[in-house]
Amino acid sequence: MFLPPILIKKLGCKWTIAISMCCYIAFSLGNFYASWYTLIPTSVILGLGGAPLWSAKCTYLTIAGTSYAEKAGKNAKDIINQYFGVFFLVFQSSGVWGNLISSLIFSQSSTKVEISEEDLACCGAYNCLADTTNTTDSAKPSHSLIYTLLGVYTASGVLAVLLIIIFLDQIKSDQAETEKEKLEIPSFWSTFLATFQHLKDKRQCLLIPLTMYSGFEQGFLSGDYTKAYVTCALGIQYVGYVMICFAAVNSLCSLLFGKISQFTGRKLLFALATVTNTACIIALLLWKPHPKQLAVFFVFPALWGLSDAVWQTQTNGLYGILFEKHKEAAFANCRLWESLGFVIAFGYSTKLQVYIKLYILLSVLVLSMVTYGAVECLEAKSSPGTPTATKKENGGPLTQETHM
């Protein structure tokens, strides 16, 4: 809630990104000796770095997109969507490389697990929780393979930080420059409270379910689908390959949707993601996974990746467009509510059966689309035929208070 706006104002986007990425390296190092005393503190450090990193990234892309659109004489909304599309192409491709690395390293293990028909009967939406929890433990990789994997991940993190420090240009918005002219103490407190104050905007409150759903659906795929369907029916060795499928489709669709959003509009893309996710949820409720249906295990993450590409590119782009004058606070809210969705999804992960989680996911999705529709109605009424950001830039009467 508080850290992203403060760091971005004081350090700028570049150094906020660089310092925050070091927190991810700390978490990788904590896994070398995985215990309560190493993972809990490094998880806290990771959380402290994650919020400023993502907020600074979104702010950077929005400012860069807006600046380029002004110079090129193009629509800022379209350029911002394209920038987010390219970013998420690269970002989601990390799932391909990361899972490929882990799959190749863990494939060196000689441990193989035979799954009986009785165990297969417990897989899927109506899984037997007690019978499926031991599957991953029986196939635990050796310490040497784990250390090799963590070494590769840590080295990748260090290289990434160096690339940011050396090659990324510092970038600042007009708003940040204006803030520097103000007194230090008022600037600090106004920044500190900016995220809370942003909740006064009715549009932000209506976007909370949509933003939280992004955390719910990602949490389900990585935490529940991989366990109750893939690991349960195929074994842990297939998890990496299934997630590669998800990441590959997600990456390509992120780039595609960022490009075509200027022609289709975001409403059509949100509708596509809603229909796709709803179909997947219903199918997962009915499907009984079996190793003979190997291709089906990859169809679901592929479709999920298509939907997630929409949720990521269009939701982030939507925040940048609606709250162009309050980017830092808006993206801090975005990360807050998405993270809360993750927290809730992982929190009930071991307490509820999969079919209940799927019903919860479907309910949140429906609520998200209702509230998102309300946001679009508010925008249509307040700016008929003219984007909100454009009206503000032209000195029109529209202000943030209009939406309170």
**pLDDT for residue 110:** 61
Cα dihedral 232, 236, 241, 247 sign: positive
**pLDDT for residue 190:** 64
d(CA 375, CA 202): 8
Q: Are 276 and 309 in contact (CB under 8 A)?
A: no
**pLDDT for residue 172:** 65
pLDDT along the chain (404 residues), means of 10: 77 93 95 91 92 88 90 87 85 86 79 70 74 48 87 96 94 51 46 72 90 92 90 84 91 85 87 96 93 93 94 86 79 85 86 91 95 89 55 40 37
**pLDDT for residue 18:** 95
Look at residues 6, 35, 36, 1 and name the one whose alpha carbon lies nearest to residue 19.
6
The vertex-214 CA angle with 363 and 357, nearest 5°, equals 40
The vertex-76 CA angle with 72 and 82, nearest 5°, equals 90
Domains of the chain are 1-126+142-170 (1.20.1250.20), 190-381 (1.20.1250.20)
**pLDDT for residue 275:** 96
**pLDDT for residue 254:** 85
Strand ranges, E, within 192-268: none
**pLDDT for residue 102:** 85
Residue-wise pLDDT for 272-295, tens only, equals: 999 999 999 999 999 999 888 999
Element (H, E) at 344: helix 327-347
Residue-wise pLDDT for 165-207, tens only, equals: 999 998 865 544 443 443 343 455 665 577 677 888 888 889 9
Which residues have a Cβ under 8 Å from the Cβ of 238 and sit 6 or more positions away?
A: 230, 231, 297
314: which 2 tokens? 């269009």
**pTM of the entire structure?**
0.71
385 class by beta-carbon count within 10 Å (0-12 exposed, 13-18 middle, 19+ buried): exposed
Q: What torsion do the CA atoms of 24, 250, 313, 226 make, to the nearest 10 degrees?
A: -60
